[in-house]
Amino acid sequence: MSLHKPAVMEQQQAHPDQHPANADQPPAVEVLSAEKTYPNGTKALMPVNLRVQEGEFVTLLGPSGCGKSTLLKMVAGLLDASEGKLLLWGKPVEELEQSGRKMAFVFQSPTLMPWASVQSNVRLPLDLAGIDKKEANERVTEALALVGLSKFAHVLPRALSGGMQMRVSIARALVVQPDLLLMDEPFGALDEITRHKLDSDLLDLWRKKKLTVIFVTHSIHEAVFLSSRVVMMAARPGRVVQEFNIDEPYPRTADFMVSPQFSVNAKQLQDSLLLASAEQEEKTS
């Protein structure tokens, strides 16, 4: 059994809720034949080509071990590509500041300093950047308000639920005022109700702050609910096999998740994911 990559989409249609990209501007993210081979010879990613336009909400979906997190970390500059290149607004990742843009990364766990207040945790990247304390505190106040944690600025992380801790992590990303937000399965460890609430809040932030988002998940339902486009990956080695535009209007509510349109999109992703997983099993048997 094998997956056949569909014809390359020559032009991505801007979603009505995306802020339109300037035709003279390069894509927010451009992955050009980028691959990753580790020193032990393990090939984590075959050459990957991917374009993410400014304002898109793109989700990477696929079975475990397909390289979703590896690709995301390469976009972030946390891992170097073995071959190929990655560009952010037309410049190499390490030259992002020269484009006048900013990027933030939200990990799978909140990674908070347990001894520091919520306010101090959120202010950390500004402190490291040497931002004036008055300006930093103003930005922290705004970020906490955006994630609904204004009343918890002075408490320690241990006093917060898992969902609230993840909100702190998101606030810490927002405080740098990013244009590109990279999120590596941030809600995977949360219960379903908390996860859906944070998904809804994330969409509100995406639209309000005009962000470009690349989001990693294992959840088909989360991918359909959030995304303007879903990129399906397969493993052994990791590669992009299909792309799906989720052409449904925003804002998306709980009603959307029980609609016929949601079911159709979820079925398409499920079929593609099952095929990717089956091929992975064949290669390991």
Which pTM value belongs to this model? Answer: 0.90
Average pLDDT over residues 131-147: 95
3-state secondary structure of 91: strand
Residue 220 in this model has a pLDDT that exceeds 50: yes
Long-range contact set of residues 280-284: C-beta below 8 Å, sequence gap at least 24: 280/63, 280/65, 280/66, 280/234, 280/235, 280/236, 282/1, 283/235, 283/236, 284/236
Rounded Cα distance, 72 and 60, in Å? 9
Tokens matching residue 220: 């088909």
Average pLDDT over residues 156-173: 96
Rounded Cα distance, 258 and 7, in Å? 31
Residues 258-281: pLDDT tens digits?
A: 999 999 999 999 999 999 888 766
- The number of helix segments (H) and strand segments (E) in the chain equals 7, 10
pLDDT at 7: 33
Residue with tokens 């998101």: 170
Measuring CA to CA, how many Å separate 92 from each of 76, 78, 99, 106, 108?
11, 13, 10, 21, 25
- Give me the chain's average pLDDT, please: 90
- Domains present along the chain, CATH in parentheses: 53-81+91-102+179-284 (3.40.50.300), 112-177 (no CATH)
Rounded Cα distance, 91 and 9, in Å? 23
Measuring CA to CA, how many Å separate 38 from each of 45, 83, 239?
10, 12, 15
Q: Percent of the chain at pLDDT above 90?
A: 82
Residues 206-218: pLDDT tens digits?
A: 999 999 999 999 9
DSSP assignment of 202-252: HHHHHHHHT-EEEEEES-HHHHHHH-SEEEEEETTTBEEEEEEE----SS-
Rounded Cα distance, 267 and 258, in Å? 13
